[in-house]
Chains A and B, each alone.
Chain A
Amino acid sequence: MLKVWTVTKRILVSILPSVVAVALAFGVGALLLLVAGKHPGEAFSTLFMGALGSPNRIAETLVRAVPLMILALGISIAFKSQIWNIGGDGQFMMGATCAVFVGLNLNLAPVLLWPVTFLAAFLGGGLWGGLAGLMRAKFNANEVITTLMLNYIAMHLLSWLIRGPMMDPNGQGFPQTALLAQPLQLPILFGGTRLHFGLIIGLLIMAAGYFFWRTTVGLKIELVGESEHVARYCGIQVPRTIILTMFISAGLAGIAGWNEVFGVQYRLLDDISSGFGNLAIVVALLGNLHPLGIVISAFFFAALMVGGNTMQLMVGIPFSLVTVIQGLVIIFVISRVVYTQWRDGLAIRRFNSRVSGQSSGRSH
């Protein structure tokens, strides 16, 4: 009984900073709404109902959460290694592109084609991000900038592909590829919703992510992140590990893309990544780079995304408010140090005053 309480307490203590960060971010969001002359209560309740108000809305939130958690897991792998992969969007698009390309052109039974396209997506994303890893490892090129530039390049590449070589021949000029054949589309879990089999795949990947940190590769990656110096002394080839880290991290982003095209869109579109990349950074950070934390925060931000769309439609509050809240969440999460500094400072001052009080008491 006591043990249960200790464990619960530990979990509470570990999620408290995240909860406070989210609450503060919403507080500032409410202030912004007041300044803009809107009613925060109405806005946030619409947001809440839009995300979780009915089984259908919950299913919709889960549909958004799956690619988000896979992407964030990928990002967490890079971040733990102190490699700042912010190119999730581009890697997502390249993964989706490769998967759709294989899916449209290879004639195989779904059972065989799924693994092949899955691999294609992993390779597509992984090589795109691995390129940034290579440039970082061999040329010391800042990966924040290269991955971001690769995002823009992937966006334009995708835009060209769906208007050129990969355009749907029967699509009446719409910028999109042909639809993936019906049997290839991932089965729906609950009729009447869009919730598909990808949820289970996503959760399996997250479980694999949990064990990944106990494998040799996982440990190597973590060690490089903690100190390149120490890693080098342990005989780890740092440049190669950096490239590998980016490859795995970006490969997962590609898988997220696979999930989106085979489970939701069934084709390539311009806005296929719909800003998942940036959001995944927030998800990974709020989830403390831990797979379980990421699952929870992915669900939370997916709800925010789905609810934010409803809010925009129903009460005319721009979706950008959700983006503001995302930015604020990161800021408050990394600012929690201020609180501990203040608390420690307070404790020291109290201790000092008590000590000086005692000593003065003795002398008189």
Chain B
Amino acid sequence: MQSDVLTVGFLVSLLAGAIRLSIPILLPALGEIFTQRSGILNLGLEGIMLMGALGGFAGTFFTHNLWFGLLCAVFVGVLFSLIMAFLSITVKANQVIAGTALTILGTGLSAFLFRAIFGIQKLPPQVESFQPLKFPILTDIPVLGPIFFNHNILVYLTLVLVIVTAVVLEKTTFGLKVRAVGENPKAADAKGIHVQLVRYICVAIGGAYAGLGGAFLSIGFMSTFLDRMVSGRGFIAVAVVIFARWNPYRALAAALLFGGADALQMRLQAIGVPIPHQFLLALPYVLTILVLVSVSKKAEFPAAYTLPYTRAER
């Protein structure tokens, strides 16, 4: 048994799996960094991801074009996140309740629309999902090839997005505005920054990323849509954001940790270790709690975190 765990083959599949499974956590987490930096806590990621997963799947199914599917996922994600933006920014509702509502709505609506569009079938409808890229030479390197150079294009695009997110947040005027709105909306307003508009944009960006994250599950990983396919990843992404202290590079590291836990439980199940598989399934969730407990005390939340902005209030 131990010899099974320590083989090179096991490690390679574990690490490759860790990278692949970190993506559906990393994508929503990157978007949530924008959202939270602007002062909004979007707990509706789970619902947005489900809608994105369905949008991506349906778009691909009817056009046989994966990129169009991806575009649909982004569109659906943005549209759905605008509900959250409206509730938290315009209505100034409690963001936890609004996020919970969005998750419930997304869970129900994605399942309902899936049945309405595809009907009830014995076998779930399938699409040809994004296939792993083959790099000349690189893919054939032993050990490193299968770990790093045998993923589909979405994995590499996500890694590019990590850098893009970091650059936009730290080096552009827009990023500066986002941070100003999240730290001191009053001062930002005095400087002539449209606080509510910036927040709307940030929530929408978060929705686009979450939609992509959902689509990664349906057309980049599974090639079908399942009601419960997101299974808490939206909430894990929020934990990742806090763990990463709102930094995209650290979010990458944290997402790899969670992807690793997910991959570990899958690999251990596959080789049949004598641990009840339910314990393995619970592993990523236990890890999330441990991580939150260890970092939350010291984390410096954006000063205007979860506070709606009104000009009249002092």
| Chain A residues close to B by CB (< 8 Å) | 32, 35-37, 84, 86, 135, 139-142, 144-146, 148-150, 152-153, 156-157, 159-160, 163-164, 278, 281-282, 285, 316, 318, 320-328, 330-331, 334-335, 337-338
Distance in Å from the Cβ of B54 to the closest Cβ of chain A? 12
- A135-B292, A153-B282, A324-B108 as given contacts; A145 in contact with B238, CB under 8 Å: yes
Q: Which residues of B contact A318 (CB under 8 A)?
A: 111-112, 115-116
Pick from B101, B112, B231: contact of A32, CB under 8 Å = B112
How many A-B residue contacts, CB cutoff 8 Å? 149
Pick from A35, A36, A141, A327: contact of B292, CB under 8 Å = A141
State whether A327 touches B97 (Cβ < 8 A).
Answer: no
Among residues 182 to 229 in chain B, which have CB atoms less than 8 Å away from a CB atom of chain A? Answer: 227
| Chain B residues close to A by CB (< 8 Å) | 43, 47, 83, 87, 90-94, 96-109, 111-112, 115-116, 120, 227, 231-232, 235-236, 238-239, 242, 276, 278-279, 281-282, 285-286, 288-289, 292-294, 296-297, 299
Which chain A residue lies CB-closest to B92? A337
Pick from A35, A37, A142, A335: contact of B91, CB under 8 Å = A335
Pick from A150, A285, A325: contact of B289, CB under 8 Å = A150
3 A-B pairs with the lowest CB-CB distances in the bound complex, closest first? A323-B108, A327-B105, A330-B101
Q: Which residues of B contact A140 (CB under 8 A)?
A: 296-297, 299
Distance in Å from the Cβ of B190 to the closest Cβ of chain A? 24
Which chain A residue lies CB-closest to B105? A327
State whether B297 touches A327 (Cβ < 8 A).
Answer: no
| Besides the known contacts A156-B279, A163-B276, 9 further A-B residue pairs in the complex with CB atoms under 8 A apart | A35-B116, A142-B239, A144-B100, A146-B292, A320-B108, A320-B111, A323-B104, A327-B104, A330-B104
- A334-B87, A338-B90 as given contacts; A144 in contact with B279, CB under 8 Å: no
Distance in Å from the Cβ of B188 to the closest Cβ of chain A? 23
Chain B interface, DSSP helix/strand/loop, else mixed: helix
CA gap between A32 and B90 in the complex, in Å: 25
Task: Name 20 interchain pairs, CB-CB below 8 A, sorted by A.
Answer: A139-B296, A145-B238, A145-B292, A146-B289, A146-B292, A148-B232, A163-B276, A281-B100, A320-B107, A320-B112, A321-B112, A323-B107, A326-B105, A327-B47, A327-B102, A327-B103, A330-B97, A331-B105, A335-B91, A335-B93
State whether A148 touches B282 (Cβ < 8 A).
Answer: no
Q: Which residues of A contact B285 (CB under 8 A)?
A: 149-150, 152-153
Q: Which residues of B contact A278 (CB under 8 A)?
A: 104
Which chain B residue lies CB-closest to A38? B116
